[in-house]
């Protein structure tokens, strides 16, 4: 039997697989909240999660959470500290991997979440949050993006979360997970590692506003296992994060 799953479920699984056992993870908002829990429940039981509101957890949250500050993410935490405490650990180099999202990305992995005039008129976006800090200070970063031409730009209007640049102290974007595939960013250019089942190289080229290394020999993204899907559906029973439609839109 072939399990059916949504694109978002596949992205959560891809995010979880970026976490290695024993790593310290700076967990971001939205899909990584689930990805961290999934990694903990499957291949990375010793991973530790830091949340920018000051929470440190070594277990997934006990119930569904919309945000890192929701009460189920506090119950059973190993510590509840302040923002500067966990950001200090990040700055010290204690964090192996951090997750960030953005509205726009360029080939160097620079993310824009501040403002854009890409569609003609000025659009103000919410801003950095902790994204700029994770991008600057984590051992490596995993970017999560909607894959659309207006979001994949040769140059972003504003660098909120710096990608690769000369003189970088550590880290930088390692992997980009999109609605179309998984891409390697570690060498300062975007190279396809896997495409989600059913996605073609031509589709990816069309959806990317800059030249991208992709061809039809790129393997498909490994489908979620039954265990992985089981965890996701227990943690997100109504499909809020991973259903076909996002309720928040």
Partner 1 sequence: MEPPLTGKQRSLAEAIAENLHDGDSVALGLALESGIPFAAVHEIIRQRRKDLTLIGPISDMAFDQLIAAGTVAKVIAAWVGNVAGGSGYGFRRAYEQGQPRRIVMEDHSNFTVGLALKAAAMGLPYLPTFTGLGGDIVRGHPRIRPIDDPFGGPSLLAVGALKPDVAIVHVQRADASGNAHLWGNLGLTVEAAYAARRTIVVCEEIVPDDVIRSDPNRTMIPGFLVTAVVEEPGGALPSSVQGYWRRDFETFLSYHNLSKTADGYQLWLKEWVLDLPDRPAYLRHMGDAALARLRVSDRRLAAAANFAP
Alpha-carbon gap, residue 171 to 97, rounded angstroms: 9
3-state secondary structure of 182: strand
User: Which of 9/133 has CB closer to partner 1?
Assistant: 133
Q: Shortest Cβ distance from residue 159 to partner 1 (Å)? A: 4
**In angstroms, what is the minimal distance from the CB of 125 to partner 1?**
8
* Shortest distance, position 10 Cβ to partner 1, whole Å: 22
* Residue 174 neighbours by CB under 8 Å, 6+ apart: 18, 97, 140, 141, 142, 184, 185, 186
Which residues of the chain form contacts with partner 1 (CB under 8 A)?
29, 51-55, 66-71, 74-75, 80-84, 87, 90-91, 110, 114, 121-133, 135-137, 158-162, 165, 167-169, 247-249
Closer to partner 1 by CB, 67 or 186: give it.
67
DSSP type of residue 73: G
Query: Cα–Cα distance between 68 and 82 in angstroms, integer?
Result: 13
Measured CA distances, 78 to 51, 59, 61, 74, 150 (Å): 12, 9, 12, 9, 41
Name the residue nearer to partner 1 (CB basis): 54 or 181.
Answer: 54
> End-to-end distance of the chain based on CA atoms, in angstroms?
33
Least spacing, CB of residue 163 vs partner 1, in Å: 8
Active-site choice (23, 52, 104, 228)? 52
> Quick one: 160 or 221, whose CB is closer to partner 1?
160
Report the alpha-carbon distance of residue 151 to residue 153 in Å, rounded. 6
Catalytic (active site) residue 9: no
For the annotated catalytic residues, the residue numbers are 52
């Amino acid at each position: 039997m072939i399990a059916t799953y949504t694109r978002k479920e596949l992205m959560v699984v891809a995010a979880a697989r970026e976490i290695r056992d024993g790593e310290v993870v700076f967990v971001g908002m939205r899909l990584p909240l689930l990805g961290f829990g999934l990694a903990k429940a499957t291949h990375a039981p010793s991973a530790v999660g830091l949340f920018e509101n000051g929470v440190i957890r070594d277990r997934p949250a006990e119930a569904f959470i919309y945000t890192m500050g929701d009460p189920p993410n506090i119950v059973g935490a190993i510590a509840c500290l302040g923002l500067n405490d966990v950001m200090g650990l990040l700055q010290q180099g204690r964090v192996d991997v951090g997750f960030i999202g953005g509205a726009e990305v360029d080939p160097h992995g620079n993310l824009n979440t501040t403002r854009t005039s890409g569609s003609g008129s000025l659009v103000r976006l919410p801003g950095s949050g902790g994204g700029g800090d994770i991008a600057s200070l984590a051992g490596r970063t995993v970017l999560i993006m909607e894959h659309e031409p207006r979001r994949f730009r040769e140059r972003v209007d504003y660098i909120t979360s710096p990608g690769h640049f000369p003189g970088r102290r550590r880290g930088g974007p390692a992997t980009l997970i999109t609605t179309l595939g998984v891409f390697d960013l570690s060498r300062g250019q975007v190279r396809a590692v896997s495409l989600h089942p059913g996605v073609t190289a031509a589709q990816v080229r069309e959806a990317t506003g800059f030249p991208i290394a992709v061809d039809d020999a790129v393997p498909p993204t490994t489908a979620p296992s039954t265990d992985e899907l089981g965890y996701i559906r227990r943690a997100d029973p109504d499909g809020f994060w991973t259903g076909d439609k996002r309720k928040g839109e």
